[in-house]
Amino acid sequence: MQFPFADFSELKEKKILIVGVGGLGAVSAEILTRCGVGRIVIMDYDTLEEGNLNRLIYNTSQVGKKKVDALEVHLKKANPDVRVVGHPFDITDGKGYDLFVEEVGKSDVVLGCVDTFHVRLFMNSQCVKAGKPLIDGGASTDGVNGSVHVVIPGKTPCFRCNRPALGETAREEAQKPERAREATGVCHFTSLPTTMGIVSSLQCQETLKLLLSFGHIASYLMYHGLEGVLERYDWERDPDCPVCGDIVHEK
């Protein structure tokens, strides 16, 4: 592949972990698979429901299957040279937790594509602890806005840094039941495939910049869909951050 800013062939030596393979994660996995990343691990305990089909990648014949199993088949067809590994587990508990910690350790970058706040906080603290970059993507509950947060431990603000409003309530927030989900695992909130495609593409763009060392990584990008505006924020790390505050700053 001819690309003037980096050598894409280096991607075959790279390993990526993607947590959550719904609207964001499935698209990110497809993009990075087609780019030729060497090993892609996907983790998600959800089963595919009809209500998920307004997103991209999945199809009607896969309803009832584990998302990671359906996606693994799809990705292997898209690029058989990529090693795809699927783990159908909850990363915050039991076997899934052990596997998550192990896979974070092996990965060059972790992509957060989850829809719950407490899992984001959990992933943030685990990635900071392991010194692994986390690229978190999210879409707003109204479906038209999104954001991408690039956490490079010791270098860019972590997910907890610029949320002073969380303050003392962070722990309570993290323990709240998952309000955005029904018992079936299908999200209540609107999910526009367009917004999902934009946010996951931005996540992948920052991932490629990080893995191949080109361009200027945006530590925080916010997409405003109604206005058609993409904003970049370059915040400073919080020296008192409870998660990353004690890591020596690297330039």
Of the candidate residues 145, 160, 200, 218, the single one contacting Zn ion (CB under 5 A): 160
CA–CA separation, 23 vs 233, rounded Å? 24
- CA of residue 191 relative to chain centroid, distance: 16
Query: Is 243 a residue that touches Zn ion (CB under 5 A)?
Result: yes
Active site residues: 187
Strand extents, DSSP E, the chain: 15-19, 39-43, 83-87, 109-112, 134-139, 145-151, 220-224, 229-233
State the Cα–Cα distance between residues 10 and 119, nearest whole angstrom.
31
User: Among 17, 158, 204, 218, which residue interacts with Zn ion (rule: CB under 5 A)?
Assistant: 158
| Cα–Cα distance measured from residue 202 to residue 139, given in angstroms and rounded to the nearest whole number | 12
Of the two residues 82 and 158, which places its CB atom closer to Zn ion in the complex?
158
Residue 149 interacts with Zn ion (CB under 5 A): yes or no: no
Region of 159-167, 171-179, 190-198, 217-225 interacting with Zn ion (CB under 5 A): 159-167
Burial of residue 82, with CB atoms counted within 10 A of its CB: 0-12 exposed, 13-18 middle, 19 or more buried: buried
Among the listed ranges 26-34, 70-78, 81-89, 152-160, the one in contact with Zn ion (CB under 5 A) is 152-160
| Beta carbon of residue 153, minimum distance to Zn ion (angstroms, whole number) | 9
Q: Return the residue of 16, 37, 113, 161 that touches Zn ion, per CB under 5 A.
A: 161
Residue 57 touches Zn ion, criterion: CB under 5 A: no
**Which residues of the chain form contacts with Zn ion (CB under 5 A)?**
158, 160-161, 241, 243-244
